[in-house]
Chain A
């Protein structure tokens, strides 16, 4: 079907090809010389099996001439293709070898096998590499083809081995061990083979893991000194040289190297900071316990947190640790307070604006609010009434007034916005003193002041024997507390102290009129906390003494009435028995009982109790046993006691057994809780009244209606808790949030 035109066209093509290859040589001599040159050229670039052929030396001139011929015929691209085809065909040689090495590695797990494999691959690569004279095109095409084939042959075992190999080049974290000599040849081989680019993430992870291991090994539990500086030095001494091989290859100057390292270096630094931060976050609870010995760890943590955004994790970890280790019934309130104070101090170091503290402190504060003895703990710490002697308050901290939450001063030139992770409830609380923070656990300081009064009353009444020194000490305490709580809040305490001095003065006057052995402390009922009442009536001579004293008092202060609290105080007694005289300082009840024994020598407990008015049987037995211990009384059958006019033999032994008199008990004051319970009883009457008359009411109505009750100060939440308690007792029922009284059946 070939037309003439087609035939002519093919003939023309043929002719031009022939002319090109024959290069205008006579006859076909050009064609022959091309064919020869082609053979030389292909032979020169042919991939050779390293295991079979020795590299030969070629006559470079002949080869050069041959290439010129090929080039003149414009057959060089074809030559290239032929070469690449050959590479592919021969590549099984390399694959076989790679597999052999990998199998061996899998058997021995020796990274040196991988090292050998890399060296071998490099040899293959270099041997097959076409001569430079052929130009960059062929070189890059060859490199691409070679790497593609090699990578496809490398499996996961190689990756693992490669990682181990990289790790073995790292300096050991043990500072005494000799670092392996930098093996730059190996890294060059990696680079030439393109392994660095391909496995960069693996190399980086080797670095990360190494850093992690180093940080964990050197910093765990080491809180005294900041570690970050040391770690940075270690990085620049040990890790940077290692990184230079990989990341700064080809750097000509140090500046060059620094620029190349900057990116990866900051990644490594970040990782180090993160590792340290994670470690400290895990340890944070114990770090706080160790404070202030752990200041180093805290400054590390602060620096790390600025670099790494782990604040939320820190808050979470600390809250979890607190929940698990601190806020449970087994922990002493004092302990919780101490840890809370330490937490405040620690987190102020870590995060001066206080956002972290706010988040962590919230559960602690809520928990403390539920503890019944928190206030007492804080207050006894305030007045230095602490057996353990280790005070929550730093002695060196200046005494300052309680700080009230204040509005932000936006005109302050140093004003800063709230940190971004601050919650909506966050208040910029200026770094305040510990006491202010503790007092702010509660909504008002009134509770503290009340508890303070109770405590002061106990301490004042426990003072005996005109011990003005102790009163002075209390006065000093109160003066200090005035600075904190304000003058007005402590006025009552002031009156209590004044009562103490007034008592002495009044007593002095009364004594001058009529000498008496009674020395009462005269307190103003209105200003002292509720004292638990007692129904003891002092018998015999005590009563006479009291009456005489009261008469004198009435003439001195006619507008005032003396009401005795006979269960408080002490009585110094001298008992004259037939064979001995006993002196003792005893509580009034014991004195009253022994006074009764002067009438007859055998009493039953019931008679004794009746003799002093009314007293709890337990207290009576306790008082009698005190005399039994002194060898004055003897238990004589059922509930009967007999006076021992003549000492019994064993009484001496008994006496020594009571080595030290028991510490005087503190006068029983109703605590704030009891007073509150009294208040709640009043409120209950009101609730009962309104529910009786108004039917059923929702909680908020009850709350507003309770404003009729004098001094009602509970929040609606507290009321809810209270109502819930009443419901459990079956007094009220609730339906759809509406409360009503349970019908009495």
Chain B
């Protein structure tokens, strides 16, 4: 025996129509709101092996993420730290993601940590969120796109798992408990 009054329904997610350049302050406010909502969603969802959190309490635009290699893949049991930087006009422009932990992977630049993933470049859409990006990254680890490698050595080795694993472990650095 319960009545839901529509007038009191929770406010809808911020409208995507607002042009990012229209009002800088309002834009920043709505980006912050979007990011807070994404954080809340991410925290409340329990996707195994992916997580992210703002770096400091003052800045919602810099996050740190953690990805665990999915079980059954060659990356199983390894944990990678990722930095996520959101542009001021997020979500119209994709965030920048970088591996902080060295990651030996066909689509990851071993030295710089930059990632070659289509949804972070030309395929980006405002409907993606931190959670979907992290999930995509997690699956990218197990299923690399060897057609457009950033690390051609890794792409070449992909089909010989033992050698690949050896290279991977040579570069891998386990996470330290460093206070952020």
Residues of A within 8 A of B (CB): 499, 520-526, 557, 559-565, 568-569, 682, 685-686, 688-690, 692-698, 701, 704-705, 707-710, 738, 740
Contact = CB atoms under 8 A, between A and B. Distances in A.
Contacts of A698: 179
Contact of B1 (A522, A557, A709): A522
B39 A708 contact: yes
Nearest to B37: A710
Given A563-B4, A694-B64, A708 B177 contact: no
A741 to B, nearest CB: 9
Nearest to A559: B6
A682 B51 CA distance: 15
A694 B178 CA distance: 8
A560 B5 contact: yes
B42 A562 contact: no
Given A693-B65, A695-B178, A707-B57, A523 B52 contact: no
Contact of A692 (B8, B40, B53, B56): B53
Contacts of B53: 686, 689-690, 692-694, 705, 708
A561 B4 contact: yes
B142 interface: no
B99 to A, nearest CB: 14
B36 interface: yes
Nearest to B45: A685
A526 B180 CA distance: 40
Given A526-B4, A569-B1, 18 more contacts: A520-B1, A521-B1, A525-B2, A557-B3, A560-B5, A560-B6, A562-B1, A565-B1, A565-B2, A682-B44, A688-B51, A692-B51, A693-B52, A696-B177, A698-B179, A704-B57, A708-B60, A709-B40
B165 interface: no
Contact of A560 (B3, B43, B81): B3
Contacts of B40: 709-710
B20 to A, nearest CB: 23
A593 B53 CA distance: 51
23 contacts: A524-B2, A524-B4, A524-B8, A526-B5, A559-B6, A560-B5, A560-B6, A562-B1, A563-B4, A564-B1, A685-B44, A686-B53, A688-B51, A689-B53, A692-B66, A694-B55, A695-B179, A697-B180, A698-B179, A701-B57, A705-B53, A705-B57, A708-B36
Contacts of A522: 1-3
5 closest pairs, A vs B, by CB? Answer: A694-B180, A563-B2, A693-B53, A704-B57, A685-B43
Contacts of B2: 522-525, 562-565
B43 A524 contact: no
Contacts of B8: 524, 526
A692 B43 CA distance: 11
Per DSSP, chain A at the interface is mixed
Contacts of B63: 693
A562 B1 CA distance: 6
B123 interface: no
A689 B179 contact: no
Interface in B166-180: 175-180
A569 B1 CA distance: 10
A696 B42 CA distance: 20
A305 B6 CA distance: 65
Contacts of B179: 694-698, 738
B149 interface: no
B135 to A, nearest CB: 16
B57 A524 contact: no
Per DSSP, chain B at the interface is mixed
B27 interface: no
Contacts of B44: 682, 685
Contacts of A561: 3-4
Contacts of A499: 3
Interface of B: 1-6, 8, 36, 39-40, 42-44, 51-57, 60, 63-66, 81, 175-180
A563 B1 contact: yes
Contacts of B177: 695-696, 740
B43 A695 contact: no
B66 A708 contact: no
A734 to B, nearest CB: 12
Contacts of A685: 43-44
Contacts of A709: 40, 43
Contacts of B52: 689, 693
Nearest to A531: B2
A289 to B, nearest CB: 47
Contacts of B57: 701, 704-705, 707-708
Nearest to A743: B177
Nearest to A738: B179
Contacts of A704: 57
A558 B60 CA distance: 42
Nearest to B36: A708
Given A692-B66, A693-B52, A707-B57, A524 B176 contact: no
A557 B6 CA distance: 11
Nearest to A691: B53
B105 to A, nearest CB: 20
A522 B1 CA distance: 5
B1 A568 contact: yes
A225 B149 CA distance: 98
Given A689-B43, A689-B52, A523 B180 contact: no
Contact of B176 (A560, A690, A695): A695
Contacts of B55: 694
Contacts of B1: 520-523, 562-565, 568-569
A693 B36 contact: no
Q: Which of B5, B53, B54, B56 has the most CB of A within 10 A?
A: B53
Contacts of A560: 3-6
B101 to A, nearest CB: 12
Contact of B64 (A562, A693, A701, A738): A693
A123 B65 CA distance: 109
Given A693-B51, A707-B57, A686 B43 contact: yes
B66 A710 contact: no
Contacts of B42: 689
A523 B3 CA distance: 6
Contacts of B51: 688-689, 692-693
A555 to B, nearest CB: 15
Contacts of A569: 1
A681 to B, nearest CB: 9
B130 to A, nearest CB: 11
A375 B63 CA distance: 40
A561 B51 CA distance: 37
Contact of A525 (B4, B39, B60, B176): B4
A701 B44 CA distance: 21
A560 B4 CA distance: 6
A705 B44 CA distance: 16
A50 B161 CA distance: 132
Nearest to A697: B179
Q: Which of B2, B4, B64, B177 has the most CB of A within 10 A?
A: B2
A682 B176 CA distance: 27
Nearest to A708: B39
A587 to B, nearest CB: 15
A297 B60 CA distance: 64
B67 to A, nearest CB: 10
A560 B64 CA distance: 43
Contacts of B5: 524, 526, 560
Nearest to A566: B1
A431 B52 CA distance: 52
Q: Which of A522, A693, A701 has the most CB of B within 10 A?
A: A693
